[in-house]
Amino acid sequence: MKTKVAVIGSGNIGTDLMIKVLRLSDTLEMGAMVGIDPASDGLARAERLGVPVTAEGVKGLIAMDGFEDIRIVFDATSAKAHVANAAALAPYGKQLVDLTPAAIGPMVIPAVNLDDHTGADNVNMVTCGGQATVPIVAAVSSVVPVPYAEIVASIASRSAGPGTRANIDEFTETTSHAIEVVGGAGRGKAVIVLNPAEPPLIMRDTVLALVDAPDEAAHDAIREAVARRVDEVSAYVPGYRLKQRVQITPVPADQPVHTLTEAPVTHQVSVFLEVEGAAHYLPAYAGNLDIMTSAALRMAEAMAARATELQGADA
């Protein structure tokens, strides 16, 4: 049997996630779509698709018929709202997949640490920038130490809704932390750029990593590790790709970047990425939102698979 899930948040991210569950997942089943605006397109679309809905937020979800059958709850609201939602759902034994930068639970990047947290009560999907760039930092750090890594996520202004704009500070803090904790960098920094260009540009991400890798063998190993990781991410985010060959350039001893870390640094690794959305509900340029919903779907499917395995073992 499929695992029933609920989505809290009937905006762009929540609606796209609902459609992904309905269209793409062989193991998950929509049990509820939850919002707070009765007139939202997400709730209306859910009703047309036969998904049970409530416009009374998490309290409405708890009161719904069939709530006890829902095992996984996606939260696509905001960092502040997730704190309240997590507290309200805590007594009911649900697993939460948090698409906000609240970072209450362990941070998960599916291509890096998916299997580590499938049994957690509350997992955090970091940010769109984190999902796009932390896998690359982790790939580089699997070859050589990365004393410092900096990422720049550039997204179309039109793809940044009220929730994204309200969480800019949390975005930079959570992403920077993920670069260190999940990516393995000694120090991380994150920058987000809202690009107002028309027509809107698809998501672009730049990863800059300072490393001590003086020989060509290390350079080849870094490029191979990055290529493998791009393939792993694109398995669940088909629009994820390298824009050009990984650049590895010497860092002269007198360059100011040496002030960013006390560790020895010989080269800078520069990786340029783009993320095109699948356009299930959101426009194709909104790769920043698509990578979040794709990563969350991948995580929930892994959670469901683990629960099924445990049930089989108990039987």
User: What CATH number is given to the structural domain containing 230?
Assistant: 3.30.360.10
Q: Are strands 53-54 and 267-275 parallel, antiparallel or unpaired?
A: unpaired
How many beta carbons lie within 10 A of that of residue 273, not counting itself?
A: 24
Among residues 96, 128, 233, 289, which one is catalytic? 128
Structure tokens at 277: 């959305």
CATH of the domain at 116: 3.40.50.720
Q: Give 18-69 pLDDT, tens digit per residue.
A: 999 999 999 999 999 999 999 999 999 999 999 999 999 999 999 999 999 9
Does the pLDDT at position 163 exceed 80? no
Residue 142, annotated ligand binder?
no
User: What's the structural domain count of the chain?
Assistant: 2
Residue 195, annotated ligand binder?
no
166 shares a domain with 93: no
128 is an active site residue:
yes
42 shares a domain with 165: no
Does the pLDDT at position 71 exceed 90? yes
Range of the domain at 270: 128-283
260 shares a domain with 243: yes
Q: Give dist(CA 134, CA 143) in Å, integer.
A: 15
Residue 161, annotated ligand binder?
yes
What is the pTM for the complete model shown?
A: 0.95
142 shares a domain with 90: no
Residue 85, annotated ligand binder?
no
Does the pLDDT at position 260 exceed 90? yes
Residue 124, annotated ligand binder?
no
Q: Give dist(CA 123, CA 106) in Å, integer.
A: 5
